[in-house]
């Protein structure tokens, strides 16, 4: 399968889940020759992965019952080059497990936290991650590098399509700013801390709140009309856990009041943006206008995750 086909598959939304296995009772039903245990959820008949071939995988990682990382955040697969079976060690957990798998297999396994993760999750009940992995496709030797090169190539169809969408988003936002400045504020509602929101399209009324991973794109323009930020300039959308403040408060508040699939425009006063002093290229007392499109929402709590995706 060529790189273009692989990335087309990667863009399909197909979350890999924990199935019926509980985080606190994962013991494993399969053991490697080095003694690493894993739980084999789906065993697809076929030849085990060969040395130097590349396993393109979907991966989720959990801490207790909270989703920590997922390859679906960027809608991309993670490539793992299969090592020499004679050189794999017990400590190389993923390589050791992959050497026992074939195309289509899916597993769960404990993964020890490194020192930084132990600090980050010092209040966690567990000191290990739960890793879920599914072998989605197999590439020829060397295809891992080609995959990443393709993703970074600004002439690939993904980049071109996102660039077009970015321009459309910017045009939409500029038109809305003109209307807003001309006192045509019809459709805007104040949601919190003087933030004003105008929904352009929505599919339901279920607000996202603050306990979800949210995959979205955003274009922002200063009040004077100059451009500030355009996430469409990257090959993949933004993603954040809205429970953890990692950007300006106004964006977290905006996302919390949106629904999955919604497109909206926001007026963000400087107090919920870069404050009175500004910062970097942002002048003091600068108000922002945002155009946000929410693409996907992934629950960060296991119970809600299972309910959304119909997992028993």
pLDDT at 165: 97
Picking from 78, 80, 94, the residue whose alpha carbon sits closest to that of residue 129 is: 94
Query: What is the H or E stretch that residue 108 is in?
Result: strand 106-112
Q: Is 64 left (phi over 0), alpha (psi -120 to 50) or beta?
A: left
* Domains defined for the chain, CATH in brackets: 3-152 (3.10.50.40), 166-302 (3.10.50.40)
Q: In whole angstroms, what is the distance from residue 3 CA to residue 156 CA?
A: 11
Contact 40, 26 (CB under 8 A): no
Q: In whole angstroms, what is the distance from residue 289 CA to residue 197 CA?
A: 10
pLDDT at 63: 95
pLDDT at 28: 67
Three-state DSSP at 27 gives: coil
Contact 272, 250 (CB under 8 A): yes
Q: In whole angstroms, what is the distance from residue 183 CA to residue 299 CA?
A: 38
b (16+ CB within 10 A) / e for 238-256:
bbbbbeeeeebbbbbbbbb
pLDDT at 256: 96
Picking from 102, 98, 67, 103, the residue whose alpha carbon sits closest to that of residue 84 is: 98
Picking from 193, 192, 42, 21, the residue whose alpha carbon sits closest to that of residue 106 is: 42
Mean pLDDT over 133-144 rounds to: 96
- Is the pLDDT assigned to residue 117 strictly greater than 90? yes
User: For the chain, what is the mean pLDDT?
Assistant: 88
Q: Write the CB contacts of 68 (distance below 8 Å, at least 6 apart in sequence).
A: 61, 62, 129
Tokens 């909206």 locate to 264
Q: Write the CB contacts of 310 (distance below 8 Å, at least 6 apart in sequence).
A: none
- Is the pLDDT assigned to residue 197 strictly greater than 70? yes
Mean pLDDT over 139-166 rounds to: 93
Q: What is the pLDDT of residues 281-310, one digit of tens each?
A: 898 999 999 999 999 999 999 888 888 887
Contact 259, 239 (CB under 8 A): no
Three-state DSSP at 169 gives: helix
- Is the pLDDT assigned to residue 26 strictly greater than 70? no
Lookup: tokens for 267: 């007026």
């Amino acid at each position: 399968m060529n790189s273009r086909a692989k990335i087309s598959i990667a863009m399909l939304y197909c979350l890999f889940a924990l199935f019926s296995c509980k985080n606190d009772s994962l013991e494993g039903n399969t053991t490697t020759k080095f003694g690493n245990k894993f739980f084999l959820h789906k065993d697809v008949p076929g030849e085990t992965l060969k040395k130097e071939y590349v396993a393109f995988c979907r991966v989720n990682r959990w801490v207790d019952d909270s989703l920590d990382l997922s390859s679906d955040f960027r809608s991309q697969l993670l490539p793992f080059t299969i090592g020499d079976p004679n050189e794999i060690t017990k400590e190389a957990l993923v390589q050791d497990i992959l050497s026992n798998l074939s195309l289509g297999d899916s597993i769960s396994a404990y993964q020890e936290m490194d020192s930084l993760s132990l600090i980050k999750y010092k209040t966690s009940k567990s000191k290990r991650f739960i890793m879920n992995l599914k072998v989605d496709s197999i590439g020829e030797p060397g295809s891992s590098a080609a995959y990443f090169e393709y993703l970074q190539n600004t002439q690939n169809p993904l980049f071109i399509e996102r660039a077009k969408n970015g321009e459309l988003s910017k045009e939409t936002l500029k038109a809305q700013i003109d209307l807003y400045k001309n006192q045509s504020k019809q459709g805007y509602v104040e949601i919190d801390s003087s933030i004003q929101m105008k929904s352009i399209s929505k599919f339901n009324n279920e607000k996202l709140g603050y306990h979800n991973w949210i995959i979205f794109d955003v274009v922002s323009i200063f009040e004077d009309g100059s451009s500030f930020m355009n996430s469409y300039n990257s090959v993949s959308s933004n993603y954040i856990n809205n429970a953890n403040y990692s950007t300006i408060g106004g964006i977290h508040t905006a996302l919390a009041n949106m629904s999955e699939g919604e497109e909206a425009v926001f007026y963000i006063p400087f107090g919920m943006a870069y404050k009175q002093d500004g910062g970097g290229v942002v002048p003091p007392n600068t108000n922002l206008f945002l155009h946000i499109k929410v693409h996907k929402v992934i629950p960060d709590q296991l119970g809600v995750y299972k309910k959304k995706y119909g997992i028993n």
